[in-house]
A = this chain, B = another copy of it.
Amino acid sequence: MEKLKFKMLYSDLKSDLVAIEKELKYALDSRSPLLEEASLHLLLAGGKRIRPVFVLLAAKFGHYSLEQMKNIAVPLELIHMASLVHDDVIDDANVRRGRETVKAQWNNRVAMYTGDFMFARALEYMTKISNQKAHEVLAKCMLDICVGEIIQIEDKKRIDQNFRDYLRRIKRKTALLISTSCQIGAVVAGADSKTVHHLKKFGYFVGMSFQITDDLLDFTATEKQLGKPAGSDLLQGNITLPILCLKEDPSYLRDIINVMEGEMNPKEVKNLIDRIRQSEAITHAKQISNLYLEKALQELEYLPDVPAKASLTEIALYIGKRKF
């Protein structure tokens, strides 16, 4: 339902998004039934296709060509999906819930190679783009994402981290690829450099707001909405913005450490999550997310008045309001 609402935001892109969806399916065609099954499963599981949407909207600020944009939107979505599969590989939560190990191992293996395949397919699409700048931006972006994934492992359970560590991590995890989607879409469509600059910054700010909201919802949304128990991030040792707001408070610090170390029973965990949900930290994190959103909207003011600008505004506002 929520997804539907989001899709209505860009109804003028509808037929182009259908074409991209078709191309994505085509891109996952391979000579291995197993690979196809695994990657189609992922594709059909859906997703908001935010990156393709940003690519297309950004391109509207230049000379828009669907055929050209396919070769950008498809690889960017593939890279996003690939990074999701790789994030799911060796999912601590899975393992901790004590699933059958051999089966988990096998699935992990397939998941890893499915991700590799998607990366490689993304690369193949990109070869059709002759714009050198687009290649450089994307390669740098992918590198940063990878470094970010390792830093996320290093930062796990590290209670002495600060806001800057967190912001840098979510930049790499989310904001960069959205920013890159806006930038490359505009660059390849031949938008002027000022427009490219502001679209890139818009994508960055929207991405930051988006991830902060995601991290918030991990505490405030229901298990049904999230598809996993509330507080999963914390249980896995991922320290997000609400936790950073609370950890200076001695009445929280010990509990935060205990829950990350797995030293709480389910009832204690539930109590802690409830306390966090009702704390000031949630309001505070929400404010920071809104600040990023405002910065995103400010960037749009520098852009020429084309219909895509209204769509970008709507998307930014939607991201600010979403409940899960």
Binding site for B on A (CB under 8 A): 30-35, 86, 89-90, 92, 95, 101, 105-106, 108-110, 112-114, 116-117, 119-121, 123-124, 126-127, 130, 132, 135-136, 138-140, 142-143, 145-147, 149-151, 153-154
Contact = CB atoms under 8 A, between A and B. Distances in A.
B117 A151 contact: no
Contacts of A154: 32-34
Contact of A116 (B32, B86, B90, B101): B86
Contact of A153 (B34, B124, B139): B34
B136 A127 contact: yes
A123 to B, nearest CB: 5
A157 to B, nearest CB: 12
Nearest to A141: B120
A110 B153 CA distance: 8
Closest 6 pairs (CB-CB, A-B): A117-B146, A124-B139, A120-B142, A35-B150, A120-B143, A127-B135
B110 A123 contact: no
A14 to B, nearest CB: 30
Contact of A145 (B101, B108, B120, B138): B120
A117 B32 contact: no
7 contacts: A31-B151, A32-B151, A86-B112, A90-B90, A106-B153, A123-B139, A127-B139
B35 A116 contact: no
B132 A127 contact: yes
Given A123-B139, A127-B136, A154-B32, A149 B116 contact: yes
A32 B30 CA distance: 35
A35 B142 CA distance: 15
Contacts of A108: 89-90, 108
Contact of A112 (B90, B101, B130, B139): B90
A130 B130 CA distance: 9
Contacts of A124: 136, 139-140, 142-143
A39 to B, nearest CB: 10
